[in-house]
Structures are given as structure tokens and as C-alpha cells.
Structure 1
Amino acid sequence: MTTALTLVSGPGDDGARVLSVTGEIDMSNAAEFGAALDRELAAGPAVTVDLTGVAYLDSAGVAVLFDRAGERDLRLVAPRLLERVLRVSGLTQVTKVVIR
């Protein structure tokens, strides 16, 4: 059974935008995740995506992050559970990733 995706946005301690994500990110909700991330990127120059509440991230979710990384100030905070996926996918090479 898939855990519902929850997206909560707001300002972080450093003034940058934060998108806190809980649940699972897969092809069934990747577009919703991407739209929420796009809104945050439009609201400010830097966005931290807090993935510490994410239990599953498939290739559709990785693609959403890749599509928005690189030229933008996108930072990921992720649980150890997602470390391998982020490293093997190459996301750690194109954006800042903090594992907690």
C-alpha cells in the first residue's frame, strides 16, 4: 500500500524556501511533487527539499529533482534510507545533498 504524499511549504530558518515532503514519491504523484517544487522555485532563488519523511523515491521522483537541479539553488535533505538512490542516480553530483 502506498503512503500518501504530503507537501508542506514555507520559509526556512535562513530565509530560503523549504518544501517538506512525507510519504512516497512515485510515478502516481511525481507530477504533483514537481508542481509543488516549481511553485517554490518561482517564489525564491533557493529551495531546500526536506525528504526526511520520504520512505520511497522511484525514478519518476528522481527525474523531477534532476529536471530542477543544476542551474538553480536546490538543496536536498534526505534520510539515510534514500542515500544510495541519490548517490547512484547522480543527484549528489548536481545538487547539494545532506543526509540525516
Structure 2
Amino acid sequence: MSTALTLTTSGDPDGSRVLTVVGEIDMSNAATFGAALDEAVRPDGEPLVVDLTKVEYLDSAGLAVLFPHAERIALVASPLLEPLLTISGLAELTTVRSG
């Protein structure tokens, strides 16, 4: 059974593309999350902002989906996820902002 996950792509007033993620990211829906990242990343190289502020849980499968995109994304994370992104090493590869 897949865990509830909502993915919405939109644009910021400054022109940045934003993928907003709501729910939990785990092995049951990591492929869906990965497909949304693949689709939302711009080919022109402009970073995609991935808003994780409403993500309540992120396991290793979700982290594994983020790593290949590290050079093309910027993350906005809640205080809950910031330590996980730091410990995993992802914060050294991409921008992580508090949200």
C-alpha cells in the first residue's frame, strides 16, 4: 500500500519552478516522487526548488531519489528534516534553506 503523497509543481513570482511535496516519502512512493522530480527539473539548468516543509517523514528511499538531482535542485526544509539532510550529506551537495 502506498503512503499518501501530494506533489504540485508551480512557479514563484521570481520565475523559479517549485515542486511542493506534502505527506510522507518512503519506499512505497519514492518512484512517484522521483518521476515528479524528473519531470519538474528544467533542462536549462535553472535549479528547481523542492519545498519539503510539509513532509512529515522521509526515509532512505526518498533521500536516494534526491541525490541524483542534487546539482539541479534547492531544498526548502522544515526543522524536522534539516538534520536528516545534513547527516545524509545532501546538504553538502545542494542548497538547503529553512522553511
TM-score of the superposition, structure 1-length normalised? 0.90
- Amino acid paired to 2:25: I
User: Which whole-Å CA distance do the structure 2 matches of 1:17 and 1:39 have between them?
Assistant: 11
* Residue 9 (structure 1) aligns with: 9
User: Which whole-Å CA distance do the structure 2 matches of 1:38 and 1:24 have between them?
Assistant: 19
User: Which whole-Å CA distance do the structure 2 matches of 1:76 and 1:14 have between them?
Assistant: 16
User: Which whole-Å CA distance do the structure 1 matches of 2:40 and 2:83 have between them?
Assistant: 26
Deviation at 1:43, TM superposition (A): 6.1
How far does the alpha carbon of each residue in 1:26-83 deviate from its partner, in whole angstroms, 9 at most, with x for none? 000000000001111146522000000100000011111101112x2x1000000001
User: Which whole-Å CA distance do the structure 2 matches of 1:80 and 1:3 have between them?
Assistant: 22
Percent same amino acid among aligned pairs? 57
* Residue 18 (structure 2) aligns with: 18
**Pairwise CA RMSD of aligned residues?**
1.5
- Amino acid paired to 1:57: L
- Amino acid paired to 1:67: P
* Matched positions, count: 97
TM-score of the superposition, structure 2-length normalised? 0.91
Q: Where does the alignment leave 5 or more consecutive residues of structure 1 unmatched? A: none
User: Which whole-Å CA distance do the structure 2 matches of 1:20 and 1:43 have between them?
Assistant: 19
